[in-house]
Amino acid sequence: MKSIVNGQVPAKQECISKTRHISDALYVLNGKWKFPLISTLSAEPLRFNEILKLVEGITPKVLAKELRDLEMNGLVDRKVFSTTPVTVIYETTAYAGSLKNVLYELEQWGEQHREKVRQSMRDDKTDVDNPLKRIS
């Protein structure tokens, strides 16, 4: 993995270290639900069923597992209130706020990537519709 930073190729050990840090981050944030959950909960604290309604497509079983994972990694707090029935609220921690720039950059990249895919699909359709393009 060689990338040039400020005109210099980083040392092998530096590349290994950076790769390890990225792997650690991806291990904590893996899966398709972590970022949508963090993003949803960063807007306001919510109860389990409220999250279930807002995060489209997630099942109760998966939501419970993802919330436990996020809580274990210090990104979400689970607050239990002794009411009848018991009230449980989930909210992001201050530590989760450190992901704000990451979320923004991923959102920007996702938008650009989606447009690139759309353009590619338009180009492919044009190629299919144009018999001269298929020949070359």
Q: pLDDT, tens digit, for every residue of 77-105?
A: 999 999 999 999 999 999 999 999 998 89
User: In whole angstroms, what separates CA 133 from the centre of its chain?
Assistant: 38
Q: Omega before 85 cis (within 30°)?
A: yes
Above pLDDT 90, what percent of the chain? Answer: 53
- Which CATH architecture is the domain 31-135 placed in? Orthogonal Bundle (1.10)
Beta bridge partners of 81: 87
Query: Of 30, 102, 101, whose CA–CA distance to 66 is shortest?
Result: 30
Give every CB contact of residue 53 below 8 A, 6+ residues apart in sequence: none
Neighbours of 37 (CB within 10 A): 25
> What is the C-alpha separation between 71 and 91, in angstroms, rounded?
10
Q: Report domain extents, the chain.
A: 1-30, 31-135
Confidence (pLDDT) at 4: 59
The distance in angstroms from the start CA to the end CA of the chain is 35
pLDDT of 124-136, one tens digit each? 765 555 554 444 4
